[in-house]
Structure 1
């Protein structure tokens, strides 16, 4: 039974039943999860202007704002009573929850850009899958990696949410089945709480807050995990499109007669060769421009959440390190914050690493253009102006750009991790 489940899961992740040789593959047949993830974000594909699409984003944003308000109260209370472990934990959740309204608002406000992103990637699929096998296989191999990374990321974030439920439900189950009334135990909540004039752990307060916290966990995974996935999906898609541009430069003069370059301009053989070269260069320029346009559109959709993500990650990592260090001082290991700091680090590392890859690959396009052999064949004179334009275009750094957002690179990641460690040392010294 377990072997059958494992085999089926492996076949699903590896797309073993998918026809990679088909010329009719598109974005939605290869990545059906994209539409499924975008519908709760308020992006409908059948009835695009339906008022229903606002219901879930509004409810999720409202609940997250309520939770943010509570966490702010808890932070001030923790500082007031000098319970800094409680204050830092609540402030950490305050920072993490702050991204949820930004994500929903940014996607809804830039809905047309999101639809254009889907259409652009779909057009890339249709174009590439009708080309030679070498292009299609390389492109689909990259798309398969995106598919696998999607489920790895969702599985990882889902595990963290399940662990939060588990560390609450297991003690609660114990209290229900085995605890005596004279033990004076308190029913646990997923996140610590405090009320100024009441006890959050008494009925019906406990049940109300417990349901609210379960919903917040689900909303965070559904919103933030999907936001990060769409981010690295688009960046990796662009990376593999640039790979195809470089591959195309390698065969731009393939199968053409060099001697036609010496024929008169109006000669039929030269005109036909010029047409073929123009067609090949047109495909390169189209793909290259598509990458820049797609990057510009994802910048508009995710620019504001990315600014917030980059700005607060140092503080969030610092607070998580503080919580882990405090538990280590008490002789225990905080498993939840260890997992949470791993996820927080990955969510910043992923766009920075992919940003570096994309930037370097964009520069590689210019190098591939220069080394395509244009100077070794007389056909190079037929494309000299086009080659110069592509080289100049490829010198522009390719990155997500938004007000207040630095270039996403490994240098950015290293800088923010260094800042987080500095903040951590300051906090520990103060404590």
Structure 2
């Protein structure tokens, strides 16, 4: 990141704004890596606890009837499908950043002529004061460093976005369980026991069944509250960084693409990077909206249940 700051200063100094904006984009992207790592290292126990709780939820729901099990397992299947799709996409983008320079280097080694005046390719643009970053051994050192950074980026964003996706979608499906519980809370209960004396055996048995159903709904609610609180405490700083800087990075990526188009070139890597930048910002925002809407649905199901049985 320090090198990228030097490159930004160099680009602004010589008024090469295309070089400066590209370096700034990479500076923003690389800055998310230490943010995510620090948050995870500091809060490892919280992440472990929530994973254990999710596993217990899975086992418990699978022990329930088909009414609960089917929508829950469909939600779990959707989680894995989305996570694999995200993993493949991020690996594809990161892989291109490694493969394209290597293909260019292979072409120069096998087919390029002396008078082509080619420069060995790197993943990120480089500049060094009073030195050439593309000469040996500078080139080999920077190629290894940049390839390592790409691997760290792929690992960070694959796991970071996947974890958010898995946790939030898991508790989104748990909120479906709450709605189902509200819809069957009085199912099979004898309403006539309400007219019996308070200490009547039949009334007490019915009351115990109702209390158990309400207790299950309360446990679901508490688990959702705890999960959202954990996500906020663990991934709060990376999310703030992500939302704060992603909009700026997306604008600069779009500028870089437009700049290359003006020169008659299509920058495939930056186009894919722009798509990835939009997706990594859209996923947590959309998941938050889904959970908010599901919360409102839970409240509506509760009021509908009261209105139905009050009649």
Q: For residue 60 of structure 1, what is the aligned residue in structure 2?
A: none
* Native 8 Å contact 1:78 1:87 kept in 2: yes
**What displacement does 1:274 show?**
0.4
Q: For residue 111 of structure 2, what is the aligned residue in structure 1?
A: 178
- 2:224 is equivalent to residue 262 of structure 1: no
Q: Which stretch has the larger CA shift, 82-91 or 362-371?
A: 362-371
Q: For residue 330 of structure 1, what is the aligned residue in structure 2?
A: 263
Structure 1 CA distance, aligned partners of 2:308 and 2:118? 81
Q: For residue 308 of structure 1, what is the aligned residue in structure 2?
A: 241
**What displacement does 1:377 show?**
5.5
Structure 2 CA distance, aligned partners of 1:71 and 1:238? 39
Structure 1 CA distance, aligned partners of 2:142 and 2:185? 64
Q: For residue 94 of structure 1, what is the aligned residue in structure 2?
A: 27
- 2:48 is equivalent to residue 115 of structure 1: yes
Q: Which has the higher contact order (CA 8 A, sep 6+)?
A: 2
CA distance 1:370–1:227, shift in 2 (3 Å)? same
User: Mapping of 1:199-348 within 5 angstroms?
Assistant: 199-348=132-281
* Native 8 Å contact 1:231 1:351 kept in 2: yes
Number of aligned residues: 311
Structure 2 CA distance, aligned partners of 1:280 and 1:197? 74
**What displacement does 1:184 show?**
2.8
- 2:149 is equivalent to residue 149 of structure 1: no
Structure 1 CA distance, aligned partners of 2:299 and 2:18? 52
Structure 2 CA distance, aligned partners of 1:182 and 1:313? 42
Runs of 4+ aligned structure 1 residues displaced above 6 Å come to none
Structure 2 CA distance, aligned partners of 1:127 and 1:377? 32
* Native 8 Å contact 1:113 1:300 kept in 2: no
Structure 2 CA distance, aligned partners of 1:363 and 1:212? 48
- 2:282 is equivalent to residue 349 of structure 1: yes
**What displacement does 1:330 show?**
1.2
* Native 8 Å contact 1:106 1:301 kept in 2: yes
User: Alignment RMSD, CA only?
Assistant: 1.2
**What displacement does 1:180 show?**
2.6
**What displacement does 1:231 show?**
0.8
5+ residue gaps, structure 1, are 1-67, 379-431
* Native 8 Å contact 1:249 1:368 kept in 2: yes
1:308-339 deviation per Cα after TM superposition (whole angstroms, max 9, x unaligned): 00000111001000001101111221111111
SS for the counterpart of 1:372 is helix
**What displacement does 1:167 show?**
2.0
When the two structures are superposed, what TM-score results if normalisation uses the length of structure 1?
Answer: 0.71
5+ residue gaps, structure 2, are none
Structure 1 CA distance, aligned partners of 2:231 and 2:309? 39
**What displacement does 1:257 show?**
1.0
Structure 2 CA distance, aligned partners of 1:79 and 1:255? 74
* Native 8 Å contact 1:186 1:201 kept in 2: yes
* Native 8 Å contact 1:120 1:294 kept in 2: no
Structure 2 CA distance, aligned partners of 1:374 and 1:81? 71
CA distance 1:268–1:374, shift in 2 (3 Å)? farther
Question: Out of 321, 344, 364, which is 2:297 matched to?
Answer: 364
Structure 2 CA distance, aligned partners of 1:332 and 1:186? 18
